[in-house]
Amino acid sequence: MATKWLLIESIGGATPSIIGLGSTPRKFTPLDKFFKSKDSLDEVYNVIAEVMASPDRVDRVTADGRRHVVVEPLVTFSGRLHGMYLWTGGPDEVVPDRDPAGAWLFNLTASKASGSNDLLDLYGVPEDERHTEKAMAGAFTRLVTNRDEGEALSKIIHSAPGTIHQAVWTVRRDDDELRAAHFSCRMLEEIDPATGRSEVILRGITQDIGPAIDVAAAPPPVVLEYRVLEAATEEGEYRAIVNLKTLQLIRWVGDPMPDLAWESVDDQVKPGMHPEDLPVALEMSAGLARGKTQGTVRFRLLDGKWKACDVRATLMMLDQHTTAGLVMVRAAADS
């Protein structure tokens, strides 16, 4: 049986798999590849099934008195179980500390993100600054992406149920400490019980695997591509990556534009583009097939007013088959 904590995902009711052994990431490893004894495997499956049926912490000694079993579920704010930590050892062994980990989700249809208190603990978010939901782009503000960013964003744009992804990115905690974070996620099609509409949800688990400086797989705080973008950006201009299919903001590149309503947190003003300017945005998007485009579009501010912005856009290749819009935004001269 295990002597280190096992991180097990069960996202979307999938067959549980191991995604972490101690602080070492695993690639969706089937349980039977790790547990060779049938008795041990059956015991693990039984306790996993128990937690999947009722996601409560388990801490007990087995009936034969030979093993101590501890399971700590990882549950989202909405109560969905994404996985669990599992430890087994001798009844007299001290249960070791485990790495922080937390469940999260991206609603790709609504462009919103949510997580869990475990995840916000990992991020070092103060208790009085915690939100249960925000814009999906807000999830990227504390992440330093790796070389797989293009692949990850491409998967977000395609939003194909059944898609999986794993990577090590760097998290900049709210106290500015840089931590290496391994995440595993699955893309699912689900029905919104409130509306009855089909939505594509990306559900995942993030595990803190140590200080970023000590983990070779973690990316540096600033990758070269972003330094090039910063050098090419004019003063007062802000950059964003936009899904050209939906015109939704995927992420800011660098600092977000001040006073713009984009985070969609709690009782904030709902973000949006002025409906009269949608034809301008659509024309700009279509025009990217021929080259760079520009126009003036009004966006909603935090106070509910509209702000006219000059927008320049260029086509951005995420992979051989997927493009996004790299958008440069600045306040219009007469706004």
% of the chain residues with pLDDT over 70: 95
Residue length of the chain: 335
Q: How far apart are the first and last CA of the chain?
A: 66
Q: Which residue has the tokens 């595993």?
A: 184
Cα dihedral 193→207→20→161 (10° resolution): 30
Q: Which residue has the tokens 């990882």?
A: 74
Q: How confident is the model at residue 230 (pLDDT cuts 50, 70, 90)?
A: low
Distances (CA, A) of 134 to 17, 185, 256, 303: 29, 19, 15, 18
Across the beta sheet with 17-21, the strand order is: 24-30, 17-21, 6-9, 81-89, 68-75, 58-61
Q: How confident is the model at residue 177 (pLDDT cuts 50, 70, 90)?
A: very high
Whether the pLDDT of residue 255 is over 70: the answer is yes
Q: Which residue has the tokens 């990115």?
A: 169
Distance CA 106, CA 163 (A): 13
Nearest one of 301, 334, 296, 323 to 312, comparing CA atoms: 296
Q: What is the pLDDT of residue 14?
A: 74
Contacts of 161 (CB under 8 A, 6+ apart): 187, 188, 189, 200
Burial 146-177 (b: 16+ CB within 10 A, else e): bebbbebbbbbbebeeebbbebbbbbbeeeee
Q: Which tokens in the block code for residue 291?
A: 């080259």
- H helix or E strand, kind and range, residue 286: helix 278-287
Q: What is the pLDDT of residue 223?
A: 57
Q: How confident is the model at residue 40 (pLDDT cuts 50, 70, 90)?
A: confident
Whether the pLDDT of residue 262 is over 60: the answer is yes
> Mind listing the pLDDT tens digit for each residue in 90-121?
999 999 999 999 999 999 999 999 999 999 99
DSSP 93: S
Distance CA 83, CA 75 (A): 7
- H helix or E strand, kind and range, residue 99: none
Calculate the average pLDDT of the chain: 92
- Indicate the pTM of the whole model: 0.92
**Average pLDDT, stretch 177-196?**
95
Q: What is the pLDDT of residue 227?
A: 58
Q: Which residue has the tokens 């996993």?
A: 48
Q: Which tokens in the block code for residue 197?
A: 């509409």
CA 234 to chain centre: 30
Whether the pLDDT of residue 304 is over 80: the answer is yes
CA 50 to chain centre: 27
Nearest one of 70, 73, 35, 68 to 52, comparing CA atoms: 73
% of the chain residues with pLDDT over 90: 79
**Average pLDDT, stretch 309-329?**
94
Q: What is the pLDDT of residue 229?
A: 60
Distance CA 185, CA 119 (A): 14
Whether the pLDDT of residue 2 is over 60: the answer is no
Q: What is the pLDDT of residue 271?
A: 85
Q: What is the pLDDT of residue 269?
A: 78
Q: Is 308 exposed, middle or buried (0-12, 13-18, 19+ CB in 10 A)?
A: middle
Q: Which residue has the tokens 């989700």?
A: 105
Nearest one of 205, 182, 169, 201 to 10, comparing CA atoms: 205
Looking at this protein, which amino acid is placed at residue 227? R
